[in-house]
Structure 1
Amino acid sequence: MNLETHEPVAENLGVLEIAALLRELTAALLDIADFDEALTRLVTVAQRTVPGVTWCGFTALRAGEPAGVAASDPRLAELDDLGHGAESPAMSAVHRREMVLSTDLAAEERWPDWTARACALGVRSVVAAPVDIDDHVIGALNLYADAPDALTARRQLTAMLLAEHAGLLLAGVRGREQRTALTNEIDETLLQEGVIGQAIGVIMTQRGCPAPEALQVLRSAALALSIPLREVAERLVVTVSRSRGA
């Protein structure tokens, strides 16, 4: 990514401020397994912690198609939504694979329709930084200000670092989301499977709990006893059968 400035980097970067921002962002996204929720937290943290930024949005694409939008202010969500038109700073950043800046939208000519909507909403300057997430999902982090020339060189650099770090964190979210989906598929299979399904039914009856909770009880017992899940299920079913036959 290229910063549209010739000022020395050392004069622009507040190391402690950047470290605090990245730490807060990491804490906000560390345990999330839902991609849309992660985007919402990302734009909330960015809007609150980056000086000079009035609003923040995120545009996500999966396999080249719109895959998600998040905005710190719902009024501005349309600026990040490609359904309102593909010509925008976000798409320019994605296509060019570098940060895109407009210091004064009143004089901007690159995205006329988008710029008209942005100005009507009170946006006066914007910086969009591309975010690489994984092989299937990419996006752009969009920082907006309500005054021209508000997105200084230091804030541009902050946007670049924030986008790089956000890409790593969002990749982790995507991984957790995919693992959760796979686990849910496995759970559905187990709930229908022979003796394990029977054992789950027994636990549901005994405890008055739903099937997912009963499956977790069975898993906890298998872990505590260090034996396979199926064996725990067989033991439970045999024990219950014997007690009923006594």
Structure 2
Amino acid sequence: MNLETRAPGTETLSVLETAALLRELTAGLIAVTDFDEALTRLVRIACGAVAGVTWCGFTALRAGEPAGVAASDPALAGLDDDLTHGPDSPAMSAIHRRELILAEDLERESRWPAWAQRARDLGVRGVISAPVDVDEQVIGAINLYASASATLTTRHQLTAMLLAEHAGLLLAAVRDRERRAAQAYEVDVAQLADGVVGQAIGVIMTQRGCPAPEALQVLRSAALSLHIPVREVAERLVVTVSRPREN
């Protein structure tokens, strides 16, 4: 990733600032299983954690097609949406060029004319867009917006790069958890459709007064404890409750 430079400066991120930013970002996304929710949390955390940034957005593409957009302020969501501006935006430039894009002063910006005019109308005066690699299917860009010209410094560029790298890792983990949850759901549906497992779940629901997912989890826990398949546990339970009671 290339860094677009401005006037020479010595601004850097301190170790404590870096650690705090990464810790907050990790804590906010570590247990999330929904990609859209992860994007929403990401932009809110970034907006609140980076001094001098007024708004934050994220543009995501899945296999070249729109995959999601998030904005810390809903009024600016259109600036991150590639369906609105197509390739003519800082985010899409960052994604296509695979490098950080900086526009310090939108009043003097000649790139992305329609997008820049819309941004100025919304009060945006500067923007940094950094590409984010999530996985083989999803890529994107994190966008940092300033409400005053010439306030996005070298420090903000470094922060954007840091955010992009760490966000990519966290979002990849979210995507993996999302896939695992979908696979688990498919397994649940298949097991519920199994006659004897369904019967056993019905028995447990009646006995415990619990919903089907909880009953299925009871079966799974029993199978794990006994080191036997779920279906065998279900068969044993059904046979047990089917036996006539002795007087």
TM-score, normalized by length of structure 1?
A: 0.96
The equivalent residue for 2:111 is: 110
The equivalent residue for 1:165 is: 166
Deviation at 1:10, TM superposition (A): 6.6
Deviation at 1:126, TM superposition (A): 0.1
Pair 31,243 (structure 1): closer, same or farther in 2 beyond 3 Å: farther
The equivalent residue for 1:61 is: 61
1:3 and 2:29 correspond: no
Cα separation, 1, equivalents of 2:212 and 2:9: 57
Q: How many residues align?
A: 246
Deviates more, 1:128-137 or 1:3-12: 3-12
SS in 1 for 2:243: helix
Cα separation, 1, equivalents of 2:130 and 2:4: 12
Cα separation, 2, equivalents of 1:97 and 1:245: 75
Cα separation, 2, equivalents of 1:13 and 1:7: 17
SS in 2 for 1:196: helix
The equivalent residue for 2:232 is: 231
Deviation at 1:217, TM superposition (A): 1.2
1:71 and 2:71 correspond: yes
Cα separation, 2, equivalents of 1:197 and 1:51: 55
The one-letter code sitting in structure 2 at the alignment partner of 1:203 is I
8 Å Cα contact 2:11/2:154 also seen in 1: no
The equivalent residue for 1:187 is: 188
Which stretches in structure 2 are left out of the alignment for 5+ residues?
none
TM-score, normalized by length of structure 2?
A: 0.95
Pair 179,10 (structure 1): closer, same or farther in 2 beyond 3 Å: farther
SS in 2 for 1:12: coil
The one-letter code sitting in structure 2 at the alignment partner of 1:199 is A
Pair 245,43 (structure 1): closer, same or farther in 2 beyond 3 Å: farther
The equivalent residue for 1:135 is: 136
8 Å Cα contact 2:4/2:102 also seen in 1: yes
1:44 and 2:44 correspond: yes
Cα separation, 2, equivalents of 1:245 and 1:156: 78
8 Å Cα contact 2:6/2:153 also seen in 1: no
Q: Deviations over 1:3-55 (max 9, x none)?
A: 22267897422221011101110111111110001000100110000111000
Q: Deviations over 1:215-237 (max 9, x none)?
A: 01111122233322112111110
1:207 and 2:205 correspond: no
The equivalent residue for 2:24 is: 24
Q: Deviations over 1:166-201 (max 9, x none)?
A: 000000000000000000011000001021111111
* RMSD of aligned Cα (Å): 1.6
Which stretches in structure 1 are left out of the alignment for 5+ residues?
none
Cα separation, 2, equivalents of 1:54 and 1:243: 72
